[in-house]
Amino acid sequence: LLRQEFKNLLQKARAEAMAIEILKYPDRAVELARSYEAGLPVEDELRDMAGFVSPAFDKYREKVMNRELEVMLPGWPMLSEFIGGFNPGRLALCIAQTGFGKTNLALNLALAAQPRMNAWYFNMEMNLEDISVRLWAIFYEKSFADLRNHAAINLGQMVQALSNGGKLRMTSGRDKSLREIQNIARAQANTEKPGIIFIDYDQ
């Protein structure tokens, strides 16, 4: 169902993009409509690379100068290098059976990202109380046994860290459709800059 919903959303987005392009370039209406019917991207066309290479490298140099080429997460150098950096517009997909540690991996990455950027976590697996306990264990490098054995529970340092840098935001644990995720992310983007987005979808 999730795959079909994504396919439907993609088709709708492509149709909307094509309509906008036709309004901008009415003389290319037939060409754009054919591209849409053929399943090609709206902007897909044969480009003269002699004229394209120079502006492309200007953008590349700008990213290098602004240190935007590869966003590396502190504490995760090997993974950051392996996927080429946690860069805007890049998708990383982690698939494993239940119990393999996908949520713990995502929470570790979210905590590592939060000091440098906003981290939005679409949690569709557990309630916020359980997530809070996991964040505590990760932040202080403690085991759940430490928590059960009434170890001194310090929240001040963690709360302070989460109050500085970017915002770590999380949903309640209820399942959401792709449309809901899209709408929530777009609404939040109106008030703050997106940084890294996690979608923790069980099964």
Helix axes 2-24, 178-189, angle to 10 degrees: 50
Contacts of 143 (CB under 8 A, 6+ apart): 137
> Is residue 162 within 8 Å of 121, Cβ to Cβ?
no
Distance CA 89, CA 87 (A): 6
Over 80: is that where the pLDDT of 180 sits?
Answer: yes
CA distances from 11 to 15, 20, 58 (A): 6, 14, 32
Q: Do 42 and 32 contact (CB within 8 A), yes or no?
A: yes
pLDDT at 3 over 70: no
Angle value at C-alpha 105, between 101 and 106, nearest 5 degrees: 120
Q: With pLDDT > 90 as the criterion, what percentage of the chain qualifies?
A: 26
**Mean pLDDT (whole number) for 168-173:** 93
> What does the angle CA 50 – CA 51 – CA 52 come to, to the nearest 5 degrees?
95
pLDDT of residue 120: 95
- Residue 197 tokens, joined: 């987005």
d(CA 165, CA 176): 28
In tens, the pLDDT along 90-141 reads 888 888 888 888 999 999 999 999 998 999 999 998 889 999 999 999 999 9
* Residue 193: other Cβ atoms inside 10 A: 10
Taking each continuous run of H as one helix and of E as one strand, the counts in the chain are 9, 3
More confident residue, 138 or 56: 138
Q: Comparing 104 with 70, which gets the higher pLDDT?
A: 104
Angle at 40 between CA 36 and CA 59, to 5 degrees: 120
The pLDDT of residue 43 is above 70: no
pLDDT value, residue 9: 72
